[in-house]
Amino acid sequence: MTLLSIGLILGITAIGFTFRFHEMETIAVRINRIERIIKDLRAAKNIDKIRQANIQRVMKLISHYNSSMPANVKYKIASEIYEMSLKYTNLDVNLICATITHESAGTWDPKVTSEAGAMGLMQIIPSTGVFLAHYEDINWTSPEDVLYNPILNIRMGCRHLSTLIDLYGVDGGLAAYNGGEKRAAMWLAHNKAAGILWEETQTYIPAVLKLYQQFRD
């Protein structure tokens, strides 16, 4: 066998080996890609399970307080509450629900209005609503149009509550949400001394926290 023949055989063998190696490498890449897709699908499925479980739980809670609310409205409200719990890491579904339950006097009525003029599920004063609507990029047409819309009301109320909790902690944030930041800041500065908060606020904080614990349990 000539050197040329040996060279051709070795060349052909090397080409075959390189092709098989490349083919195996391509298969491995495809397998890895498929495995990643499967993992992503499983993760998405788990996330959707958690989302649906939370939504169903909130809908059940709403039904307990407001059985006449249409199912589609309950679903939209529950979905928004869950989304807000993801958007604001210092809020969770139970705390939002506890706040709404107390603020709406246990009615979960989107059009509930207090004697002081606070409106909707999270009881937002129109002057505060104008401010919050600006930051939420909500077109402020009228207090009724915006604050009686449960989705917009929850979105604005959660932004407000989250900001206050960031500034003052959970207890202080609830105090500020109900009685204003000035009183809450004074209360915290004096180590939560009695007689600083409004009487309503003094009962508001433990009432919301009691509901919060109840819903968590």
Tell me if 65 sits within 8 A of 58, measured CB to CB: no
Q: How far apart are CA 109 and CA 122, in angstroms?
A: 10
Q: Looking at residues 65-92, what average pLDDT do you find?
A: 97
Backbone phi, then psi, for 113, in 5-degree steps? -135, 135
**Hey, what are 131's tokens?**
């401010």
Task: Please report the pLDDT score of residue 4 as a whole number.
Answer: 47
Least confident of 31-40, 80-89, 90-99, 177-186: 31-40
Tell me if 179 sits within 8 A of 197, measured CB to CB: yes
How does the average pLDDT of the chain come out, rounded? 89
**Hey, what are 164's tokens?**
């206050």
**Hey, what are 205's tokens?**
């904080």
The fraction of the chain above a pLDDT of 90, given in percent, is 77
Per-residue CA distances from 14 to 1, 6, 10, 38, 112 (Å): 19, 12, 6, 36, 81
Q: Looking at residues 48-67, what average pLDDT do you find?
A: 95
Q: What residues form DSSP beta bridges with 119? A: 113, 124
pTM: 0.80
Amino acid at 45: K
- In tens, the pLDDT along 126-153 reads 999 999 999 999 999 999 999 999 999 9
CB neighbour class for 75 (10 Å; exposed up to 12, middle 13-18, buried from 19) = middle
Q: Looking at residues 6-15, what average pLDDT do you find?
A: 52
- In tens, the pLDDT along 30-52 reads 666 666 665 655 655 567 899 99
Q: How far apart are CA 109 and CA 123, in angstroms?
A: 11
Q: Does domain 3-216 have CATH number 1.10.3720.10?
A: no
Q: How far apart are CA 83 and CA 116, in angstroms?
A: 29
Q: How far apart are CA 52 and CA 189, in angstroms?
A: 42
Higher pLDDT among residues 11 and 134, named by residue: 134
- In tens, the pLDDT along 164-214 reads 999 999 999 999 999 999 999 999 999 999 999 999 999 999 999 999 999
When pLDDT is cut at 50, 70 and 90, the band that residue 28 belongs to is low
Q: How far apart are CA 109 and CA 70, in angstroms?
A: 12
Task: Please report the pLDDT score of residue 69 as a whole number.
Answer: 97
Measured from the Cβ of residue 216, the count of other Cβ atoms closer than 10 Å reads 12
Helical residues (DSSP H) of 136-198, grouped into ranges: 143-147, 150-179, 181-189
Domain extents for the chain? 3-216
